[in-house]
Structure 1
Amino acid sequence: MLKIKIPQRLHINLLSMHSCDYRKNSGIGLAIINKELFLEAKIHSTSIIEVENYCNHPERLQIIIELLKSTKKKYKLEYGVKIKLCGSYFFHVGLGTSTAVTLACLEALFLTNNKTITDNELIKISERGGTSGIGINTYFHGGLIIDSGTKSNNQKHKPSSYIKPKVHSKILAKCNFPNWNLGILIPNERDYIYDEKELIFFEKNCPIPKDEAYFASYLATFGTLASAKDNDYELFCHSINETQKTYWKRKEISQNKFNNLRINRLLSLGVDCAGISSFGNSIYFFDRDPEDVIRKMSTEDDFLYFEYDICNSGRIIC
């Protein structure tokens, strides 16, 4: 029985969303892992995915199953793979679940067939990472990453689901992340932004002003990345709070009126920093005692709370 512990990611910000002659998109993000989320796999006549607990978008799993079947055929693999996803899986909440689960299932397919395949080939098959390279890189390498984006091609910015990149974004800068305490809230009432809604958002808000993109890149590099590398918790938290005020992140937050309310609610309770991962609705926060923060929240705060650990290794194959 093969086992893969599946990391997810916080997507802190997209950076190069302006008109640029060099690189477009790019982002900064952090690999995180929940010990309850892993898959078990074994060979099977066809490809099947079962979820142990809960999945909010079963149709996403069906897309992955079809990808597994087409991959088996294309690569002339002898067996399919039967996968059990242990834990609960929330897609389209800003944690990169689609990318992580897709890559993990594909990797399980090849491993159970005793076939070796490169990371780059897996990424290519997955068709993930069209806009941001954070999720595809944190899956394999973990840590805090700034990705290189893709070469500017004078085409409009689009979300990952509308791009099938020929060349994937590489790691531009990376560091192991300190073992600081992290909490994540997923509201029970969620406003999902993906597919057509996400495309409309990109068309409406891109390109952003150049000076705003320059500041976001400076903040990501000399604020978030540099402070993590230097183990400077206070400066890191300051950079995260400032990130929520950047142009692109403000636009993401504004898609749901409750995002700001939830972030401000956490800050009012004294957390060290708080932000929204990608479009959300996941709200993340860092605090020296996350569980104490949750105890202070009232019953009116309708959410699911998850404890995550920092992941500096990428996925773990057992």
Structure 2
Amino acid sequence: MTDAVSQEWGVRIRTGCRVSFTLIDLNGETGRRNGMASMALRSPALEAVVLPHHSTIEVEADENGSAHVEAVRGLLERLREAWQGPPAKAVIREGLPPHRGFGSGTMTAVAVGRAYAQLAGVSVGAAEIARAAGRAGTSGASANLIERGGFLVDGGHLNPDDFADDPQRYLVPSRFAGGGKRPPALVSTPFPTWPVLIVIPNGNEMHGEEEREFFARTLPIPAEEARRTAHAVLMNLATSVVESDYTSFCRAVNFITYESYFKQKQIDMQSSEVKFLLEEARRGDEIDAMAMSSEGPMCYAFTRRPQAAVQWLSALRSAGIVHEFWFSGARNVAADIDWVPVLDDGRTVVA
């Protein structure tokens, strides 16, 4: 659009969330570290609009998005300076629940940054935005999924020459790893049309210094355990998704949740309610497979018996184990980015 027209138009971006099956290699002795098996979901969703503004960068957000206002403002100020871009106002209309396991920090930053790039007339991909935001230092899940959707396995990062001297320096959560080269997508494929049952138990929201201290205590994991996880992801989880083999997929998910080394450490940090939920899912007939995303507390499940699963979760909600739950599904497409009209009062008139 021309400069004359662009003052009457903003840019809207809509995308889903990221859920994690597992980080892959948290030992690093092979020369690479991290990597993640992940997927994009339709719900919860993220919607933001970036509008022309008077002279500064401003950011507004709903309750969920408010956790990321300062980080987004800082990102947009850096992008404006780097691109000599226009002043803008970002409005996070529908934010992702923070610190639950939905990848809200990276997804929000990359999404709003992509919208600002279009407003500024800059052709740039999600990887560059993530680097500017200081993200994707652990996995390329969120940056890749915004551009692809679906199921993803990324290859993590090449270790620096001094990795062996102090592995814990580099085996850190994403927000402390800094921005870097986006990890390559090893597997990127649509996820089958299997419903995904999102479950929010009453659990711990681990982030910030608490998460960093957890990584420092736990990593590096034994090399053999990293190999077991990598094998499970590439030879079982990913292949079952590509072949739409539900039974094999559920077997792989349950191995990661209940038998893989690092996931067990993550679950150990969770509340008694989360542990109870996972054990009941394993013992009962209502759920075929259940995963916990990142450090939780959000879990997501797969079932062929939705009515029985809902009845089971309703009882757990009444008992104070579960806060809320709903059915979602994979988002197998990239983020939607489009121009929207801006009225004199700053409102946009699009559904």
- Assess same fold via TM > 0.5: yes
Q: Could you tell me which amino acid in structure 2 is paired with residue 130 of structure 1?
A: G
Query: Which one of 153, 156, 159 corresponds to residue 149 of structure 1?
Result: 156
- Taking the TM superposition and a 5 Å limit, the aligned residue runs for 1:149-228 are 149-153=156-160, 154=163, 155-156=167-168, 157-187=171-201, 189-228=202-241
* Aligned equivalent of 2:32: 23
* Aligned equivalent of 2:322: 302
Tell me, yes or no, if structure 1 residue 66 matches structure 2 residue 79. Answer: no
Q: Is the 8 A contact 2:90 2:112 kept in 1?
A: no
CA apart distance, 1:291: 5.8
Q: How many residues align?
A: 314
The separation in 1 between residues aligned to 2:86 and 2:273, in whole angstroms, is 49
- Taking the TM superposition and a 5 Å limit, the aligned residue runs for 1:235-274 are 235-244=248-257, 245-256=259-270, 257-267=272-282, 268=284, 270-274=286-290
Q: Deviations 1:113-166 (Å, cap 9, x if unpaired)?
A: 233223332222121111122222112111211111111221321111111243
Query: Which one of 68, 84, 102 corresponds to residue 76 of structure 1?
Result: 84
CA apart distance, 1:69: 2.2
Q: Could you tell me which amino acid in structure 1 is paired with residue 157 of structure 2?
A: T
Q: Is the 8 A contact 1:10 1:31 kept in 2?
A: yes
The separation in 2 between residues aligned to 1:115 and 1:238, in whole angstroms, is 45
Tell me, yes or no, if structure 1 residue 293 matches structure 2 residue 309. Answer: yes
* Aligned equivalent of 1:275: 291
Match of 1:241, SS?
helix
Q: Deviations 1:276-297 (Å, cap 9, x if unpaired)?
A: 0010010100123546522332
Q: Is the 8 A contact 2:110 2:129 kept in 1?
A: yes
Deviates more, 1:250-259 or 1:109-118: 109-118
Query: Which one of 53, 58, 70 corresponds to residue 48 of structure 1?
Result: 58
Match of 2:21, SS?
strand
Unaligned runs of 5+ in 1: none
Q: Could you tell me which amino acid in structure 2 is paired with residue 151 of structure 1?
A: L
Q: Is the 8 A contact 1:12 1:29 kept in 2?
A: yes
Match of 2:294, SS?
coil
Q: Is the 8 A contact 2:57 2:89 kept in 1?
A: yes
Q: Is the 8 A contact 1:27 1:132 kept in 2?
A: yes
Q: Is the 8 A contact 2:25 2:34 kept in 1?
A: yes
Q: Is the 8 A contact 1:81 1:108 kept in 2?
A: no
Q: Deviations 1:56-92 (Å, cap 9, x if unpaired)?
A: x734222212221232123210231332423x53111
The separation in 2 between residues aligned to 1:95 and 1:11, in whole angstroms, is 8
Q: Could you tell me which amino acid in structure 2 is paired with residue 218 of structure 1?
A: H
* Aligned equivalent of 2:246: 233
Q: Is the 8 A contact 1:44 1:82 kept in 2?
A: no
Match of 1:271, SS?
coil
Q: Is the 8 A contact 2:11 2:116 kept in 1?
A: no
Q: Could you tell me which amino acid in structure 1 is paired with residue 82 of structure 2?
A: K
Tell me, yes or no, if structure 1 residue 90 matches structure 2 residue 97. Answer: yes
* Aligned equivalent of 1:113: 120
Q: Could you tell me which amino acid in structure 2 is paired with residue 51 of structure 1?
A: A
| CA gap 1:85/1:306 in 2 versus in 1, 3 angstroms | farther
Query: Which one of 7, 21, 26 corresponds to residue 12 of structure 1?
Result: 21
The separation in 1 between residues aligned to 2:285 and 2:30, in whole angstroms, is 44
| CA gap 1:314/1:74 in 2 versus in 1, 3 angstroms | same
The separation in 1 between residues aligned to 2:46 and 2:67, in whole angstroms, is 19
Q: Is the 8 A contact 1:12 1:28 kept in 2?
A: yes
Match of 1:183, SS?
strand
Q: Could you tell me which amino acid in structure 2 is paired with residue 255 of structure 1?
A: M
The separation in 1 between residues aligned to 2:131 and 2:189, in whole angstroms, is 25
Q: Could you tell me which amino acid in structure 1 is paired with residue 125 of structure 2?
A: T
| CA gap 1:84/1:123 in 2 versus in 1, 3 angstroms | closer
Match of 1:310, SS?
coil
The separation in 2 between residues aligned to 1:120 and 1:203, in whole angstroms, is 27
Which of structures 1 and 2 has the bigger CA Rg?
2
